[in-house]
Amino acid sequence: MKKSILWVLLVISINLSADITTPQGAQKACDGGDARGCYNLGAMYYSGQGVKQDDFKAVKFYTKACDGGNTVGCFNLGVMYDNGQGIKQNYSKAAKLYRKVCDGGEALGCYNLGVLYTNSRGVVQNNAKIIKLFTKACDLGDAPGCRAIGIMYDEGKVVVQDNFKAIKFYTLACDGGDARGCSSLGYIYENGQGVKQDNSKAVKLFIKACDGGYIMGCSNLGYMYLEGKGVKQDDFKAVKFYTKACNNGDTVSCYSLGHMYLNGRGVKQNNAQAIKLYTKTCDSGYANGCYNLGLMYANGRGVKQDNFKAVKLFDKACTGKYALGCTILGFMYNKGHGVRQNNSKAVELFEEACKEGDAAGCYSLGHMYLNGQGVKKSFLKAKEFFGKSCDKKLTKGCENYAILNKKK
């Protein structure tokens, strides 16, 4: 779970005789009962500014600051309890501190308390309070609070789904500097949810999100350049933005970048780099990456051909709910490639793939029933599954369905 962020800016003293921006001055001020000095000292220990970094001492001085009435000290102490930094994690204490800060009119306290209510951490989940807290945070000028309200209206969680209100709050978030809010607003314009579909505006919002440090904004921008949506199609720029997103931890962008290297789009064709990227995505739990990596091993593309390794990767893809992974794993069992031949297992895998919506899985299952492989031979069942594959726009499924339909 993403950790909450502390305020660590130092308070500058108005009293020129007490320099609380140095460790010595802050210590002296704190000892004299100045809560601002205690806060500054806590911030110094937290960030290692002028002193050796020490979370435990940061907690000590944030506590003194909070007890002395320093709101930011209370907020940072809440974050330390929330994250379990320098003190045992305690969501209940974090909630009490955030509530104190929120009641004092600080938006971040309201927002963080809203997050705790959303996740039922230290408090009992309460939809009314979630709405109230995020709304208060937004009203106090907190952009993430506006975005949180936007998400609720966008997804219909806690409140009735409302595209127009989602747009309103995403706009407030984006205008307030929240990069994720810009990305969410861009997605709405791309898909025409509650607004006239406008890819050009979506691109501008994704650029703002990407420039603001939100990696999904960069990933979305890569997709827009790849597809030529709202911009002139440009593989080189697609690679640029996918690379930026991938290097900053976005798995899907790494997968898309792998495709670019595999097909030589926007970069020189490079099987080794494609394999490296598919491996990275597969290791991160992205089933599609495991499937593509399996294909590389099955076809001996950029690596030594290895059906046994391919089977392991297809199995990982199937387990990760990538339906096409189940279909090709069923094919491997049906043909005995890299695994002991087993038609019953093949049928089981084709059934799973078909159930998950893969047309090829339905088609393959139709053939198993048609030929009586791993199941009792049945023209009716074969026709049923050819029909399902046809419904999913697979031409061969339609052709086979038509042939069997004439035999009734």
Domain end residue (candidates: 46, 73, 89) = 89
Same domain, 307 and 355: no
Phi, psi of 327 (to 5 degrees): -60, -50
Task: Count CA within 13 A, CB hemisphere, residue 297.
Answer: 22
Predicted confidence at residue 408, as pLDDT, reads: 61
Same domain, 260 and 342: no
**Residue 350 included in any domain:** yes
Same domain, 2 and 77: yes
**Residue 82 included in any domain:** yes
Predicted confidence at residue 160, as pLDDT, reads: 93
The conformational region for residue 56 under phi > 0 = left, psi -120 to 50 = alpha, else beta, is: alpha
Predicted confidence at residue 25, as pLDDT, reads: 93
Burial label, 309 (beta-carbon count in 10 A; 0-12, 13-18, 19+): middle
Q: Which residues of 322-341 are buried (b: 16+ CB within 10 A; e: fewer)?
A: bbbbbbbbbbbbbeeebbee
Mean pLDDT split into 10-residue runs, the chain, 408 residues = 51 48 92 94 93 96 96 95 96 97 95 95 93 96 96 92 96 97 97 95 98 97 98 98 97 98 97 97 97 97 97 98 97 97 98 97 97 96 96 96 86
**Residue 235 included in any domain:** no
Domain end residue (candidates: 46, 65, 89) = 89
Range of the structural domain that residue 334 is part of? 324-408
Look at residue 3 and give its three-state secondary structure: coil
Same domain, 268 and 283: yes
Same domain, 337 and 389: yes
Same domain, 313 and 274: yes
Predicted confidence at residue 6, as pLDDT, reads: 57
Running DSSP on this structure, what letter comes out for residue 181?
H
Same domain, 396 and 331: yes
**Residue 74 included in any domain:** yes
**Residue 347 included in any domain:** yes
Domain end residue (candidates: 89, 106, 134) = 89
Same domain, 315 and 339: no
Same domain, 31 and 42: yes
**Residue 104 included in any domain:** no
Same domain, 260 and 303: yes
Same domain, 313 and 334: no
| Helices 91-103 and 107-118, axial angle in degrees (round to 10) | 140
Predicted confidence at residue 329, as pLDDT, reads: 98
Q: Which residues of 231-249 are buried (b: 16+ CB within 10 A; e: fewer)?
A: beeebebbbbbbbbbbeee
**Residue 108 included in any domain:** no
**Residue 127 included in any domain:** no
Read off the tokens for 116: 């705790």
- Say how many domains are in the chain: 3
Read off the tokens for 211: 């420039």
Q: What is the domain-level CATH number for residue 286?
A: 1.25.40.10
Same domain, 310 and 355: no
CA separation for the pair 40, 203 (Å, rounded): 42
Predicted confidence at residue 340, as pLDDT, reads: 97
Sorted by sequence, the CB contacts under 8 Å of residue 7 that are 6+ apart come out as 43, 72, 75, 76, 108
Q: Which of 84, 83, 141, 88 is closest to 115 using CA atoms? A: 83
Predicted confidence at residue 122, as pLDDT, reads: 95
